Amino acid sequence: MFALAAMLSVFAITVLLLLRDIGAVFFAFFFVFVLAFSGWFVLTRRRFGRLLGTLGVLVGIAGIAGFVEAQYTFLALLIAAIAIFGLSSRYAVRQDNATRAASRRGNGGAPQAARKGVLIINPKSGGGKAVRFKLADEALKRGIEPTMLGPRDDLGEVAERAVNDGADVIGMAGGDGSQAVVASVAMRHEVPHVCVPAGTRNHFALDLGLDRNDVIGALDAFTDGVERRIDLARVNGRVFVNNASLGLYAQVVQSERYRNAKLRTWRRALPMMLGPKKDETIDLRFAGPDGNDWNDAALLVVSNNQYQVKRLGGHGSRQCLDGGRLGIVATRIRRATDLARLITFGVTGQHKRFGGVRQWSSLEFEVRSDLPIAVGLDGEALLLVPPLRFVSLPGALRVRIPRLAKGVSPAGAAVTLTRRDFKRLLRIAVGRPRPASRVL
């Protein structure tokens, strides 16, 4: 009920703000447009062009600040209502999902411990996270065999050797790129995979519903874990668990300077790729959702299931990992007005009104080019020979997570300010059972 009340409060405060001074709201969005429009010149120009863009950014900031100051009370109330709605609705949905997941686990019997569990540990991942948590010692306490990855070891070969030596559950303590390699081996041998979030970002663990801060707790998947099947994806023979990024980001991370000077690398690269004298290093050709050809995408992301870009909360995560389809997001940004419209619509959650962004799903997807294509694959910088053929691998991986893990991603627990989710929260509030369908 608390979430329902917060949702109604958001609508009420928004209406009052519009009725109180709709002109001020219009000018606020105008200054957002000015800020984004000028930001384009800061990003893509040098010297005098960047200076003019900076002045425009300052004008935009000043205009937005003036609106905030004039409408401070209403905006503070609106932000508070949105925050309360987000927290309370996610809590309600997670509890509902957890209750039904616990019911299904209870019907399936007690979790089974691994007979011979093997955990491969990358000691350098996450800035040495595995070493700080004494992960090898904790694994031994639970009867899990730890294998430390050496600087010259081939991860795929190490995983293959572990399975051939009798491992019936194999885990990886490392980043998402390492998770993909071990998951590929686990898929081929039909053994369960355990993800231990010992990397830097651990997006795969997030979407599995694991606590990324509880590295030691993830080991419970070996001894007290529940199993389910999830999808993997593949591009030109390479398996990935999260996504492949092409275009601007992939080009920039190819630079040797990127790891040590990220901001400086972006400042140097963007004028060359998006400015008036841009080179043609981004050459991506593919068919969009309507069958029409794209040849000018600045950003392209192909993911193992779709990422959340529509709901309040859950951005940067996937609603499920068993949808059996690739998620594709393509963006074309050719001029300052494109960026300004994208950001202005995005502020209101109406980014789909910007025609330069398309999101769809597919079982397969192909990208063509006359040049080798830079790809950020699960965070690893690669250069692949076109055409790139992406394919979804539905239900390819047996994965184990701790029995007490929430097992729900942020996107899976996200709720929108829509009639559909209002009915969803109302059903939870009155205790009605959810209609039979797959749990997201």
pLDDT, tens digit, for every residue of 134-161? 999 999 999 999 999 998 999 999 999 9
Q: For residue 244, is pLDDT > 50?
A: yes
Residues 6+ apart with CB under 8 A from 83: none
**What pLDDT, on the 0 to 100 scale, is given for residue 328?**
96
More confident residue, 20 or 94: 20
Q: Which two tokens stand for residue 205?
A: 């663990």
CA–CA separation, 261 and 243 (whole Å):
24
Pairing mode of beta strands 243-247, 299-304: antiparallel
Q: For residue 284, is pLDDT > 80?
A: yes
Q: What string of DSSP letters covers 381-414?
A: EEEEPSPEEEEEEEEEEEEEEETTS----HHHH-
Q: What are phi and psi of 364, to 5 degrees?
A: -140, 160
Q: What value does the mean pLDDT of the chain take?
A: 84
Query: What sections of 244-391 are H helices per DSSP?
Result: 248-253, 262-274, 336-347
More confident residue, 410 or 361: 361
**What pLDDT, on the 0 to 100 scale, is given for residue 155?**
97
| Confidence class for position 346, pLDDT limits 50, 70, 90 | low
More confident residue, 282 or 291: 291
Q: Which two tokens stand for residue 162?
A: 């572990």
**What pLDDT, on the 0 to 100 scale, is given for residue 318?**
92
**What pLDDT, on the 0 to 100 scale, is given for residue 71?**
86
pLDDT, tens digit, for every residue of 36-77? 888 888 877 888 888 988 999 999 899 989 988 888 888 888
Question: Three-state SS for 169?
Answer: strand
Secondary structure element (H or E) that encloses residue 365, with its range: strand 364-367
Q: For residue 273, is pLDDT > 70?
A: no
Secondary structure element (H or E) that encloses residue 171, with its range: strand 169-174
**What pLDDT, on the 0 to 100 scale, is given for residue 266?**
62
CA–CA separation, 247 and 153 (whole Å):
31
Per-residue pLDDT, averaged over 207-227, amounts to 94
**What pLDDT, on the 0 to 100 scale, is given for residue 69?**
85
Per-residue pLDDT, averaged over 116-130, amounts to 94
Most confident range (mean pLDDT) of 64-73, 90-99, 252-261 is: 64-73
| Confidence class for position 109, pLDDT limits 50, 70, 90 | very low
More confident residue, 267 or 287: 287
Per-residue pLDDT, averaged over 410-439, amounts to 67
Q: For residue 6, is pLDDT > 80?
A: no
Domains and CATH numbers, the chain: 2-106+417-430 (no CATH), 112-223 (3.40.50.10330), 243-394 (2.60.200.40)
CA–CA separation, 286 and 172 (whole Å):
34
Say what the pTM is: 0.80
Exposed/middle/buried for residue 49 (C-beta within 10 Å: 0-12, 13-18, 19+): middle
Per-residue pLDDT, averaged over 301-320, amounts to 77
Residues in the chain: 440
